[in-house]
Amino acid sequence: MGKLSSTDFLQTKLSDAKIHFERALDCKHTEFDDLYPYMIEHPQFFWYKRYVAWSELLTIVKLCNELEIGWQEHFSTKQAEYITSRVMSSRVLDEWYETTDSKEQVS
Convert the pLDDT of each residue in 32-83 to its tens digit: 888 888 887 887 888 889 999 999 999 999 999 999 999 999 999 999 999 9
Nearest to 36 by CA among 46, 27, 26, 22: 46
61, burial (CB in 10 Å: exposed 0-12, middle 13-18, buried 19+): buried
CA distance 51 to 31: 13
Q: Record the pTM.
A: 0.82
